[in-house]
Structure 1
Amino acid sequence: QSTLQRLGLLAGVHAARPASLARAVLTSRSGVAAGFDLARGSWGLSRKSLDTAIADAAQAAGAELSMGVRVQRFDQVNGGYTIEARSNGRIIEIRCRALIAACGRSSSSELPPRSQAAPESGLVGIKRHYKNVSMPPQVELYFFEGGYIGLAPIEGGIVNLCLLASRKALEGAEKDPAGLIEALAGRIPGIGNRLAGGEPIEASLLAAAPVDLWRKADPWDSVACVGDAAVMIPPLAGDGIAAALRSVELCAPLAHAYLSGDLTLERWRQAYRSRWHASFDRPLALTRRLETWLGSAVGSNLLLGVGSILPPVARRLAGMTRSRANSAPPFMT
């Protein structure tokens, strides 16, 4: 919530009535479980509600929001940028002095990130919302061979389900996303029990592939990149959206200084890269190691076994996967 407060977003996000989350429980494929308390003030909120709150706050602050405009490419020209976009079936051109890429993991080779996983080598991600699911205010994560699946309450009494798995792990299951979820619910008792009385919200079903968790981080790929455009935080950490907002917190004052004439473009690039790496490199490296360890049968049993005996250790380790915007070196022009 501190990042939301500093960005002027806290009131708008709070108005969306996010679910309060108190604990996280991780369960290995053999049933070893470890639980720990989450940081005070942890919330669960759908991406749609969060995006709406952010867009409303930006417009209230004077930003212009153009819906239905899809950027296709951009070029750096004459100290600024020319953007080619599609709107209502026609190509339009937009010119600007500064450009920040917040296009997620993108689906175009013309936009950051330019380094993409081959379709056959990446992971598969699936998300779905459910109603009438009875569960406590906690995040639950279940590991299986080749991936993991999680549940968490969000606003309106809805539960969010997300899963990430290798293509190999999903071989033999149903080919459609809904079928994959049903197959895993049949294999994983914890998921099956939770979803037994739940009703899927059909419009909420989304799938994405390939998902590349090992792409090299690059906070400046021709332009400043924030969120997944810079790097994708493994969902295991449960910190992707918060990390994206923290990258915005790092980038925004530098962009302002550049537009105000107090900073050159090169100095902006250098300062943002330095601050980004100081904030994200260590937690990202740890999260990737945990992704590997918890993905193995032996590693998950060992780590979660220790965590079940010593919950403070588990909580400390989880905290170390969080980036901190204030851990970056001070900005100096």
Structure 2
Amino acid sequence: MRTDYDAAVLGAGVAGSSLAAMLAARGWVTALMDRQRFPKHKVCGEFLSPESQHILSAMGLRETVQSLEPHRISRIALYLAGGGQVELPLPGTALGVSRYRLDAALHRHAVAEGAFLLQGGTVTAVVPYEHGYILHVRQGRESTEITARAVVAAWGAGGQGRILGRHDHRVDDGSWRKRRSGSAHERGAIGVKSHFAWSAGASSPSDAVELYFFPGGYLGINGIECGHYNMAALLDSEDIPRSHSTVEGMLMEAVSRNPALHSRMVDAQPVHGTESAVAPVHISKHPVPWSVIPHIGDAIGRIPPLCGDGMSMGLRSAQLCAADAHRYLAGEWTYEQWRIAYTQAIYSQFSGPLRWGKVVEGMLRHPAASRLLPGLARLSPRLACKFVEATRLRPG
């Protein structure tokens, strides 16, 4: 293992892998680090929005993603709790692809660009020193130290804040059930996901990302590779998860709460081994682009899953951070100049989608939505599309 780097990226998801690849391509010695081992299934809508594909093209990854055999998606179908339905076109073609495949492809790309992928090691502390940072890394019973001139947080929402003096609330291995104390606000929601396949000849979901609302949360279905479909749900922690101990049990309880969803799932079978859960899930109103070190992806803030632009925001933040980090590492900017420029860019581009995402989520989950929104969408489809656009990044 190398012991000194120009940059260390903590978290090897979509944002972290992309950033590591871009820094390595610019000639910087870059470590891409994650405490988990890949490939692995993760709670995610597994939906690459139309906006994200402009960024993938700029990164030279469009063909790589197409080689993963993604499912093409062109519209949104909303099934509200009271029975109302709204269909809207997407502003382009989206792609459905599992994180199991996508993360592995992004890792290969980062390594091909020259990044060092370090898996299964837990960073226990990040300590400033004269020339950057010292990272304390534990892998099994062994501990080591590495140094990096710059460190970037790509550890997701909640993440590994304890290494910088903040408590780590993130879990992804089922141990979330042990963390039930505290207020409902502190607990947040619980995210669960699994892949499903439809029986031969059955009416499976088509070219839409389908969103179903019900008492206790909402759930999305969209196609991915291999003819499979991803089902991901955001559930109120004090409702369905209190009476079910498995991901499959929670999803089936959610299915029973929306008649349209129940009908859709009659011929579906779970793909075992694809289940995952994460808690707590806190939806952000405001971005947090910098706290001791720069943040990218969900470490900045989590947009409601129903908006479907999370991976796009992860890719965009990696793009912005790579350009600014390069200037800092090249000696063109001071650390403070990097912080100011990056913070301003993130606030400018992310504040609107995070704020409107929260508003739209609240509207769609409100009981009155079933009565009002279908009629509004029919009367003014352009206005309905504007609400969708407000939750998404502007092309850039």
TM-score (normalizing by structure 1)? 0.91
1:6 paired with 2:58, answer yes
Is the contact between residue 215 and residue 257 of structure 2 (CA under 8 Å) also seen in structure 1? Answer: no
State how 1:273-292 maps to structure 2 within 5 Å.
Answer: 273-292=343-362
Choose which of 206, 228, 232 in structure 2 pairs with 1:158: 228
The residue number in structure 2 matching 1:258 is: 328
3-state SS, counterpart of residue 30 of structure 1: coil
1:1-333 alignment, distance < 5 Å = 1-111=53-163, 114=166, 120=184, 121-132=187-198, 134-170=204-240, 173-214=243-284, 216-324=286-394, 326=396
> Aligned letter for 1:277?
Y
Q: For the Cα contact (< 8 Å) 2:195–2:274, is it kept in 1?
A: yes
For the residue of structure 1 that corresponds to 2:332, the secondary structure is coil
SS of structure 1 residue aligned to 2:150: coil
In the alignment of these two chains, the number of paired residues is 326
Q: Distance in 2 between matches of 1:316 and 1:85?
A: 46
How big is each residue's C-alpha offset from its partner over 1:102-127, in whole Å with a ceiling of 9 and x where there is no partner?
A: 11124544247948785743101111
Task: Confirm or deny: 8 A CA contact 1:69 1:85 kept in the other structure.
Answer: yes
For residues 89-113 of structure 1, the C-alpha deviation after alignment (integer angstroms, 9 at most, x for no partner) is 3222110001111111245442479
The farther-off stretch of 257-266 and 141-150 is 141-150
Compute the displacement of 1:6 (Å): 1.2
Q: CA RMSD in A?
A: 2.1
C-alpha distance in 2, partners of 1:115/1:131?
A: 39
Find the aligned partners of 2:107 and 2:266 in 1 and give their Cα distance: 36
- Contact kept? 1:131, 1:201, Cα under 8 Å: yes
Q: 1:145 to 1:115 in 2, by over 3 A?
A: farther
How far 1:282 sits from its partner (Å)? 1.1
The one-letter code sitting in structure 2 at the alignment partner of 1:128 is S
Residues 119 and 217 (structure 1 numbering): CA distance in 2 closer, same or farther, change over 3 Å? farther
Which is further off, 283-292 or 184-193?
184-193
SS of aligned partner of 1:253: helix
Structure 2 residue identity aligned to 1:32: G
Deviation at 1:146, TM superposition (A): 3.2
Q: Compute the displacement of 1:145 (Å).
A: 2.1
Runs (4+) of structure 1 exceeding 6 A deviation are none
DSSP 3-state at the match of 1:83 = strand
User: One-letter code of the match for 1:306?
Assistant: L
Where structure 1 has 5 or more consecutive residues not aligned to the other structure, the ranges are 327-333
Secondary structure in structure 1 of the residue aligned to 2:81: coil
- Which letter does structure 1 place at the counterpart of 2:120? G
Give the stretch that moved more between structures: 267-276 or 105-114.
Answer: 105-114
Cα 1:31/1:297, change in 2 over 3 Å = same
263-272 or 132-141, which moves further after superposition?
132-141
CA deviation after TM superposition for structure 1 residue 236, in Å: 1.5
Cα distance, 1:299 vs structure 2: 3.5
For residues 75 and 365 of structure 2, the distance between their equivalents in structure 1, rounded to whole angstroms, comes to 21
- What secondary structure is seen at the aligned counterpart in 2 of 1:71? strand
Structure 1 contact 69–86 (Cα < 8 Å) conserved: yes
| Structure 2 Cα separation of the partners of residues 69 and 256 of structure 1 | 26
1:80 deviation in Å? 0.3
SS of match in other structure, 1:232: coil
1:150-204 per-position Cα deviation (integer Å, ceiling 9, x unaligned)? 1010111110001112123326643322111111222212222222212211211
Change (3 A) 1:167 1:50: same
Contact 2:363 2:369 in 1 (8 A): yes
Bigger mean CA offset, 237-246 vs 172-181: 172-181
Contact 2:192 2:275 (C-alpha < 8 Å) held by counterparts = yes
Cα displacement string for residues 252-310 of structure 1 (whole angstroms, at most 9, x for unaligned residues): 10011111111111100000000000001011111111111112101353234312443
- Please state whether the residue corresponding to 2:82 is helix, strand or coil: coil
Alignment gaps of 5+ in structure 2: 1-52, 170-181
8 Å contact kept, 2:286–2:301: yes
Distance in structure 2 (CA, Å) of the matches to 1:27 and 1:192: 12
Q: Where does residue 331 of structure 1 map in the other structure?
A: none
2-structure distance, mates of 1:244, 1:171:
28
